[in-house]
Structure 1
């Protein structure tokens, strides 16, 4: 095998020096030779009982980089580590699952009609019924015309498509930290500069509109991303602060996405949808996964002025809104499920916040009563708070993957069994106190 490799290498260099083949062909031959060498050495090591990747561990980064270069894979992916919590959820049996941000009260009373199932052989070509339902739903705050709506496979896809629409070489991203990690993970694959505006622990992680405006003004032409309500804290930013931020972005020549994935939990008069007709640099993203209880059907949408929606359509995945999602979303809107969910959260979450306020060791970041998620933390940054919750039988999301946070913080989703959750919070507080007293061990 090594003889074959040497022959290939000599042939490549001989051809290159004699001009018998073009340089591009030479590069292809050298790439093939490199791959041949790699496979030869791996085979020889295996024959002698060695693990080839163990032997090459020290140089594995260089080998991987060569592989990426060989096939034109973006090198930024070589070192990227995804912070998104969906990659790092704890496993096991839990008394309560308070991890993912789905509707704590489940799915609305809906069903799939037989006619929808019969039509699954056809592509979903019409949005008319859903557009009409959304127009009626938001009529009090915005006249949504069909050319202002773009549907996608969940709000994550909407945000990714907006990033694709705005990304050019040299673009800077202005965002808060912490913020929704799946979106910033995707942004990072384009290799942009990031200007993060950190929510400060000394302010209990409360939103600072002026700090965000300052960052926007210092980075003209940036792409601005803001999630409101904020993930993981669950706080809602006042609409007048949002207006100031969007205006600052417009004045700086920057496009801004307001990610309202949890928007159905906040009052309509606080939504950035109120600003769409005023600002042409704004897109508002929403989803059916949270308040509407349809996370499993994967349906999101963007609302923006027609010229923005037209541009977004050019990077939107065709037929990304499937027929079943369309039908169930229409039924969910008609059921009023999100509005009933909001009313119930307003009753249940204050009980959870009161339980956390009574704790000696657990703290809760600034949060809004009507949003189902909260960020809980301890002062000791050596505590793995996710594991402490797990000891009490509660599954949560670690905040270790969020910029500006660590393993001593978690995101806690509301649970329909509030009595049990309140009781278990007291147990978690006691376990956290023991861990802190033992010097940071959460075991």
Structure 2
């Protein structure tokens, strides 16, 4: 059999493939889906769905209409700007597959969503990440990124003299840190990339946890080199139904349509997804819970920072937040408080952070699963409020190690 050379030579690393068993009575903080599930109104759609509709191929337009309605206050999205996909991972694979990958390089941010760049490498695209720095609390520096990625002949200390930069991939919010890149910086990146004929992929899988006004969806009409990926797996808690979509210029969508299964997203998933998008208040409640939990984690790790913040000493707080004023040895990377994700990292060079959490019955994602991190870091997806004390207790204990 003639198998792709990349598939023969490379091992796929994906935390989605990890097979760690949750201890009895433990708390799962590993999967990225919403711990609060989906809007309760979606259950009514399931209850009332006519089983006869599962026989024919899916043709419902409800999800297209709901997506257009969802974005109407930001931008007019036409039917031809939307491609439905089986979740956001499938969307990313589709985007990669429409381009000529020969001698191509994708610029990313390290750490970021593993499955994107693993797929890129598997189909022959080189991955050249901009490394977020531990000493800067893994904070994305837009000015540094902008100064590097269009004009340099080297990137991340890797010389690429014979290759051109064809893609930029940014997950916003970032997975695993949960931080958010400002829409102004995103537009600068997309605008600069357009001048160099570079395609920009903005993965907003966790986008429902950031303000809607910060979404790159509002930019697609101005920039034909932009593709924005969204999913209902995270904020809307429908990971099991596999509902995602791409918003882009009609030309890009037309190329994708030539490559894809015309019946992506089942009839049932389309109806449930359409209902979910009507209930943004559900997301707002979840965001408030996550922000409150992160505040408690921050207070446990940085009591002096929180004290100064409460006194509105913003400049001093910023200095301490970036350079560290921890009460122990555990740190929380730059993050958007309303996001369910966060990254913790430890001062010890030998600790396995995910194992320490597992000893305390908390299942997290090992930092080793992300390029640019190791096992001294761990990604955490916040649990439900009633499970949070178990996580917070574990954090406080590990902070003292």
C-alpha distance in structure 1 between counterparts of 2:213 and 2:225, whole Å: 20
Q: Label 1:310 to 1:116 Cα distance change in 2 as closer, same or farther (>3 A).
A: farther
Q: CA deviation at 1:157?
A: 0.3
Q: CA deviation at 1:115?
A: 4.5
- Kindly provide the CA deviation profile for residues 338-393 of structure 1, in whole angstroms up to 9, marking residues without a partner as x: 34333433333322333343551211100011111000010223111000001111
Residues 361 and 429, structure 1, Cα contact 8 Å, conserved in 2: no
Which of 12, 34, 37 matches 1:82?
A: 12
Which of 167, 186, 207 matches 1:263?
A: 207
The question of 1:225 aligning with 2:169 is answered yes
Q: Label 1:276 to 1:104 Cα distance change in 2 as closer, same or farther (>3 A).
A: same
- Kindly provide the CA deviation profile for residues 90-109 of structure 1, in whole angstroms up to 9, marking residues without a partner as x: 21315211111110211221
Moved more, 408-417 or 89-98: 89-98
Residue equivalent to 1:52: none
Which of 36, 39, 52 matches 1:105?
A: 36
Gaps (5+ residues) in structure 1?
A: 1-70, 435-443
Residue equivalent to 1:425: 392
Residues 117 and 127, structure 2, Cα contact 8 Å, conserved in 1: no
C-alpha distance in structure 2 between counterparts of 1:301 and 1:407, whole Å: 33
Residue equivalent to 1:123: 57
Residue equivalent to 1:383: 351
Q: Label 1:103 to 1:232 Cα distance change in 2 as closer, same or farther (>3 A).
A: same
- Kindly provide the CA deviation profile for residues 397-436 of structure 1, in whole angstroms up to 9, marking residues without a partner as x: 1110211100110001111126x534543434434644xx
The question of 1:296 aligning with 2:264 is answered no
Residue equivalent to 2:194: 250
Residue equivalent to 1:414: 382
| Paired residues for 1:126-141 under 5 Å | 126=60, 128-141=61-74
Residue equivalent to 2:312: none
C-alpha distance in structure 2 between counterparts of 1:181 and 1:194, whole Å: 11
The question of 1:320 aligning with 2:253 is answered no
| Paired residues for 1:348-363 under 5 Å | 348-358=293-303, 359-363=327-331
Q: CA deviation at 1:166?
A: 2.1
Residue equivalent to 1:37: none
Larger radius of gyration between Structure 1 and Structure 2: 1
C-alpha distance in structure 2 between counterparts of 1:174 and 1:231, whole Å: 16
Q: Label 1:342 to 1:421 Cα distance change in 2 as closer, same or farther (>3 A).
A: closer
Residues 116 and 323, structure 1, Cα contact 8 Å, conserved in 2: no
Aligned length: 362
Residues 234 and 375, structure 1, Cα contact 8 Å, conserved in 2: yes
Residue equivalent to 2:181: 237
- Kindly provide the CA deviation profile for residues 309-328 of structure 1, in whole angstroms up to 9, marking residues without a partner as x: 11111122321111111011
Q: Label 1:253 to 1:221 Cα distance change in 2 as closer, same or farther (>3 A).
A: farther
Q: Label 1:428 to 1:349 Cα distance change in 2 as closer, same or farther (>3 A).
A: closer
Partner of 1:216: helix, strand, or coil?
Answer: coil
Moved more, 328-337 or 182-191: 328-337
Residue equivalent to 2:289: 344
C-alpha distance in structure 2 between counterparts of 1:431 and 1:264, whole Å: 31
Residues 152 and 317, structure 1, Cα contact 8 Å, conserved in 2: no
RMSD: 1.8
Partner of 1:290: helix, strand, or coil?
Answer: coil
The question of 1:373 aligning with 2:341 is answered yes
Residue equivalent to 1:184: 117
Gaps (5+ residues) in structure 2?
A: 154-163, 304-326
C-alpha distance in structure 1 between counterparts of 2:21 and 2:302, whole Å: 28
C-alpha distance in structure 2 between counterparts of 1:237 and 1:422, whole Å: 30
The question of 1:280 aligning with 2:224 is answered yes
Higher helix share: 1
The question of 1:164 aligning with 2:97 is answered yes
Residue equivalent to 1:175: 108
- Kindly provide the CA deviation profile for residues 49-86 of structure 1, in whole angstroms up to 9, marking residues without a partner as x: xxxxxxxxxxxxxxxxxxxxxx1011211231222111
Q: Label 1:159 to 1:238 Cα distance change in 2 as closer, same or farther (>3 A).
A: same
The question of 1:211 aligning with 2:144 is answered yes
Q: Label 1:113 to 1:421 Cα distance change in 2 as closer, same or farther (>3 A).
A: closer
